[in-house]
Amino acid sequence: MDTLGGAEFAPTSTYLSTSTCGLLPRRSVEAVRRLAEEIAAGWAGGSGSFEATEAARASFGRIVGVGAERVAIGGSVAVHVGLIAASLPAGAEVLAPEGEFSSVVTPFVARGDLKVRYVPLERIAEAVGPVTALVALSAVQSADGRVADLAAVRGAARTHGARVLLDASQAAGWLPLEAGEYDYTVTAAFKYLLCPRGASFLTVTEDAQRSMAPAHAGWLAAEDLSRGTYGPVEEFARSARRYDEPPAFLAYHAAEHSLALVEQVGVDRIHAHDTALAARFRRGLTELGHAPVPGESAIVAVPGLGYREPELARAGIVVAARAGNMRASFHLYNSEADVDRALDVLSG
């Protein structure tokens, strides 16, 4: 199986750690270089282009199946989740999986007046109850690559009138998703969406927007940007743009091109590619006597094998050690040769 993306990628390692950070396409590197040189030369008014930001917003929306008016841009998942946490009434119950990524749960805990309850991932749908205000979970778990039963979670939330916050950071770009099926989604784009750190996205349903204030609003949150520069904003944007953070232009100039590449290749095609490589790796690991976490995720984790990460690194193979697991994650720039090379080292 050949790589996808062609000449856009030329890693000098066997890179199996997209769940940590995705590789930047050449077109995105060039966009950053171009803007940086313009800023250095004094030609970039305002240090970047809002057109690039809007192109990235629209592209992300197409990837996850919502209109650009439902997408807010920012710089981190934690800030997006903080907005959602601030919208909940005191005493509200937030239900989350045990071992969930810190940025998804800490803003709720930091409130100090919410009830945050944790259950095993496989039990989260059945744990939703009449007092649950919000279910907060990742589509794909960072520590071990398990994919949540999202249909069951959505069904349970509807039954009990709870909202759902989905972190798509480990999913968007390889796992087909419809963001409109969730009250909120948050996505760090520096993984499978191939963007630099500093680009992240929040989607919010129209109903959820009614109870979420633009708590960090600045002039970019104004409906009419020409009138929002000085003094308080008089009218907030009628779209999710009211929740925007000021864009990190270097990140968003790259994001415009990275997201366009994901669209060009296609998430369905990337999904088939990534999961086929992961399945090949799982089979090989099993033949070597290891017991990888089962499933059909693009992320493969092997409990207790994290200690071999330094050995693999010395051999030029980049994986991650997470919660005691060796975690390998596959994406469009990987091939069967990458899988076989990692298995060869692990067999030694």
Q: Which of 41-45, 77-81, 170-174 has the lowest mean pLDDT?
A: 41-45
Residues 6+ away with beta carbon under 8 Å from 123: none
pLDDT value at residue 343: 98
Fill in the amino acid letter for 251. Answer: A
Phi, psi of 231 (to 5 degrees): 75, 175
In 8-87 the beta strands, taken as DSSP E runs, fall at 14-15, 71-74
C-alpha–C-alpha distance, residues 140 and 148, integer Å: 6
Helices then strands, counting H and E runs in the chain, come out as 11, 12
In the chain the beta strands, taken as DSSP E runs, fall at 14-15, 71-74, 93-97, 115-119, 132-138, 163-167, 184-188, 200-204, 299-303, 317-318, 320-322, 325-329
Structure tokens at 169: 């950071």
C-alpha–C-alpha distance, residues 125 and 145, integer Å: 18
More confident residue, 5 or 308: 308
pLDDT value at residue 345: 97
Q: Is the pLDDT at 43 greater than 90, yes or no?
A: no
Summarised one tens digit per residue, pLDDT across range 260-281 is: 999 999 999 999 999 999 999 9
Q: Can you tell me the mean pLDDT for 325-344?
A: 97
Summarised one tens digit per residue, pLDDT across range 122-164 is: 999 999 999 999 999 999 999 999 999 999 999 999 999 999 9
Q: Can you tell me the mean pLDDT for 199-227?
A: 93
Q: Name the residue with tokens 């366009």.
A: 260
Which among 331, 138, 173 has a CA at the least distance from the CA of 258? 173
3-state secondary structure of 120: coil
Question: Would you give the distance in Å from CA 81 to the centre of its chain?
Answer: 13
Instruction: Determine contact, residues 99/123, Cβ cutoff 8 Å.
Output: no
Instruction: Determine contact, residues 334/9, Cβ cutoff 8 Å.
Output: no
Structure tokens at 179: 């963001």
Phi, psi of 186 (to 5 degrees): -130, 140
pLDDT band at 44 (very low <50, low <70, confident <90, very high): low
Strands 163-167 and 132-138, by their bridges, are parallel
Structure tokens at 292: 């990888």
Task: Name the average pLDDT for the chain.
Answer: 96
Which among 335, 302, 336 has a CA at the least distance from the CA of 320? 302
pLDDT band at 34 (very low <50, low <70, confident <90, very high): very high
